[in-house]
Structure 1
Amino acid sequence: MFSRKSTAERTAAEAWDYLSSAMASAGESARDAGRTTADFAGAKAAELAGKASKQAGKASRHGHELAGRASKRSHKLAGRASKRSQKLTGKAGARMNAVTDEAWIRAHRAADALAGRKPGLPWGLILGASLLGAALGWTAAATARAAAERRAENEQLEMAETAIVATPTYGS
């Protein structure tokens, strides 16, 4: 009925289509989340600015002095709203960047796997392990050399203590 090759090709084509749609939807999701965050932050800023202007309107009824205070306060509230919206947008953007980056990495790895390309060797890990091995080898060699020197000194002292010194006597 179907040969193995056509089944494999069909499976690879389906996987490629799935990967392409996943990459496209990840990009769209990131854009939608950014827009939603910006819209939310703008709405919150407008709401706080509206509250501030209402307070300014109430204060103007009570006199010029109160209007001045309310104006200052509304500026402060608007500034706070702006800062908060910027922080919220920044946080949401950072989260979306991390998620988007991870999605791109996975998508590229999947595309490489479908194309038959093998992942590269982790050279940083290999270099780190070899440097660690060299440092441990050097430490072991230095320790063994010091132990051999101490052993030789101890043997020399032991021989000096047990050695009988024969002194010739002349005479009698």
Structure 2
Amino acid sequence: MFSRKNQAEKTADEAWEHLQSAWATAGESAGRAGRTSRKLAGRAGDRVSYVTDEAWARANAAASALAGRRPARPWGLIVAIGLVGVAVGWVAAGTARAALERQAENEEIELAETAVVVTPTYDER
């Protein structure tokens, strides 16, 4: 009978060790799965947030259109395009001015090289 008790205790101890090992392994797997699921949930949350924001904006635009309100003007975009236009115009004007100055200088040089000096002569009679 004594050996049966030792055998039962030994079996119980082994079972307990296996249970602890399985529990620890499951905890590690759950930790890894938790980190992975948190990453995936974060990505999905970002996508859902973007889609929700887009849907909200469209719903507000549709409600405004049904109420007869016109959409707001994109003033920031209008100002930015205006500033870009002014900058491009300024560069074009400077380039055109420089080209005209070079052309005038070239014409002056050409006239100076081909100029014929005519000296008047007076006939005495």
Please state whether the residue corresponding to 1:98 is helix, strand or coil.
helix
The yes-or-no answer on 1:110 pairing with 2:59 is no
Q: 1:43-85: CA deviations, max 9, x gaps? A: xxxxxxxxxxxxxxxxx84896x88876654443121011022
Q: So what's the TM-score if we normalise by structure 2? A: 0.68
What does residue range 21-170 of structure 1 map to in structure 2 within 5 Å? Answer: 61=14, 73-164=25-116
Larger Cα-atom Rg: 2
Say what the alpha-carbon RMSD is for the aligned residues.
2.9
Once superposed, which parts of structure 1, at least 4 consecutive aligned residues long, lie more than 3 Å away?
60-64, 66-75, 164-167
Deviation at 1:118, TM superposition (A): 1.0
**For the residues of structure 1 that align with 2:21 and 2:111, how far apart are their CA atoms?**
99
Higher RCO by CA contacts (8 Å cutoff, separation 6 or greater): 1
Any gaps of 5 or more consecutive residues in structure 2? 1-12, 120-125
What number of residue pairs does the alignment pair up?
Answer: 107
Q: How far, CA to CA, are the matches of 2:20 and 2:62 in structure 1?
A: 62
Q: Among the aligned pairs, what percent are the same residue?
A: 54
Q: 1:90 deviation in Å?
A: 1.4
TM-score normalised by structure 1 residue count: 0.52
Q: Structure 1 residues 63 and 165 mapped into 2: Cα distance closer, same or farther (>3 Å)?
A: farther
